[in-house]
Amino acid sequence: MSLKSFPRAYFELTLVGFTLVLGMSLPSAFLPIFASQLNPNEILVGLVSSSWFISRLFTELPSGVLADRFGWFRLLVCGLAVSALGTLLCSVADTIYVLILGWALWGLGVGFFFMCSSTMIFNLFESSVRGQALGTFQALEFIGSLIGAPIGSFMAETSGCKAVFVVASVLMVASFLVAFFSKTLRQNCAVNSEPASKLGMTKVLPSRRNWNLTVVYFDTFSRMLIWTGFVGTFFPLFVNLELGIGVELIGLIVSIRTLGIIVATAASGRLSDRFGRKPVAVVGLIVEVGSLCAHSLASTFEMLMFVGLVEGLGFGMVLTAVMVMLSEVAPAKYRGGAIGMDRTFMSLGGLFGPLLFMAVYELYGSISTFLLGALIFLLNLALMLTVKLPKAAEEDVNGQHPDRLQSIAFRDEGKTDIHSAIRIRHFVTQVKA
């Protein structure tokens, strides 16, 4: 399916997401340094980074369930407003406590946005092109992340850390204004929302009954555990302290890994549409296991660059395939609750990853840390092989799949208004019944 045929709401959502990620990546390289300048206490410095996840642990699940019931547009716009407020607090922070509060609000708002944006993409597109749509969206996000960090570092050196937060604030406010005044986003949120008749929390809880969802949750948790604990904390220390590679070269390794993620997320969406979510996810996990083992053997900068690129490709393949898989194994009217639960597990992995891997590294050394990462990925792979995806419904309405009619209804090109979309949706519901 050509990108030209995608609805206008998708491109507006992508623009908002790119601007949001670009802004939040600007301070990523110097945040701990700025925090230590405000207060050198190591616990408080660590709390700054953790606050990004702590603020989301107890909010994303109930907010997803409530959004299923009352609609998504308000949550999306509120998330962007909270992010803008958090960024403004960071830009005026003179104490580390203000920075912690601002960073927590920023992370909370970003979590709300991406929960809403994922649900909107799932609702805008039928299953056969959903991978392509989500993969393109995620690839553009990672491009924002790739260019944001070096720009922020350069600005911090020339203008100071607070100036970077001011620029990030401008980007956050711009994202909010684009979403708030977008008629197509407002209309599509209104049409796409399928409020459940009651708050079905039990419908999305991990259990043997919801086995497919449970596997998806574990995949999200374990990959975030690896991302923050192994890639983000242990690996830079190992490369710097034990291999003697400088910080600037470590930054290049991280950048080439991000490049691999960008390429894979863009390509794996189409691949998963063609070959299936599970095969692409399994191949990606195999690549990640092999890459992690190769990291333990690599000893030169060039080898680490190559392995980092391959590992990024594997990560990107799993990221897109599993996210689309979530949309297909979750009950449609409880999809928001499932995404909220998934992001709660993501936050848990981000919170405990650094603690787990640094504890193993401190007590047992680097080899045991590499083995732990490999075992987590192998367990993830074994569980993924047990997933049984439901077969897509083969329903046609005058040669059209009902989801395709929904997608047509959501395209705002001057041909379809909100009332027409509601009438078509009512007709599709009757046909499905």
Query: What pLDDT does 83 receive?
Result: 93
Q: How confident is the model at residue 244 (pLDDT cuts 50, 70, 90)?
A: confident
pLDDT of 403 higher than 50: no
Read off the pLDDT of each residue in 309-319 and give the average, rounded to a whole number. 91
Residue 432 has pLDDT above 50, yes or no: no
pLDDT at 350 (0 to 100)? 81
**The pLDDT of residue 396:** 32
Whether pLDDT at 290 is above 80 = yes
Give the pLDDT confidence score for residue 168 in this predicted structure: 93
Give the pLDDT band of residue 306 (cuts 50, 70, 90): very high
Contact status, residue 267 vs residue 320, Cβ threshold 8 Å: no
Specify the pLDDT at position 68.
63
> Can you tell me which residue has the tokens 């401008």?
170
Which pLDDT band holds residue 372 (cuts at 50, 70, 90)? very high
CA dist list (Å): 401 to 63, 122, 313, 413, 432: 31, 15, 33, 21, 10
- Give mean pLDDT, residues 61-71: 65
pLDDT the model gives residue 362: 84
More confident residue, 40 or 392: 40
Residue 397 φ/ψ, nearest 5 degrees: -125, 100
State yes or no: pLDDT of 177 exceeds 70: yes
DSSP collapsed to 3 states, 366-417: HHHHHHHHHHHHHHHHHHHCCCCCCCCCCCCECCECHHHHHHHHCCCCCCCC
Name residue 397's beta-bridge partners: 400
d(CA 50, CA 308): 25
CA–CA gap between residue 48 and residue 28 (Å, rounded)? 12
Bigger pLDDT: 351 or 65? 351
Better-predicted residue by pLDDT, 288 or 157: 288
Give me the residue label for tokens 């909220």: 340
pLDDT over 70 (residue 344): yes
pLDDT tens-place string over residues 139-154: 888 888 878 878 887 8
Band of the pLDDT at 414, cuts 50, 70, 90?
very low
pLDDT at 64: 64
Is the dihedral angle over the CA atoms 242, 244, 247, 250 positive or is it negative? negative
Contact (Cβ atoms closer than 8 angstroms) between residue 313 and residue 271: no
Residue 247 buriedness (CB in 10 A; 0-12 / 13-18 / 19+): exposed
Q: What is the pTM for the complete model shown?
A: 0.69
Which of 98 and 248 is assigned the larger pLDDT?
98
pLDDT for 132 equals 83
- What is the pLDDT averaged over residues 173-193? 78
State how far the Cα of 21 lies from the Cα of 12, in Å rounded to an integer.
Answer: 14
Instruction: Give residue for tokens 């979309």.
Output: 421
Instruction: Give the pLDDT confidence score for residue 128 in this predicted structure.
Output: 76
Query: Residue 397: is its pLDDT beyond 50?
Result: no
Query: Is residue 102 over pLDDT 90?
Result: yes
Is residue 391 pLDDT above 80, yes or no? no
All domains in the chain, ordered by first residue: 1-195 (1.20.1250.20), 203-389 (1.20.1250.20), 402-432 (no CATH)
- Residue 431 confidence class, pLDDT cut points 50, 70, 90: very low
The whole-angstrom distance between residue 263's C-alpha and the CA centroid of its chain comes to 16
Reported as a pLDDT band with limits 50, 70 and 90, residue 91 is very high
Mean pLDDT score of the chain: 79
Give pLDDT, residue 190. Answer: 53
DSSP 204: S
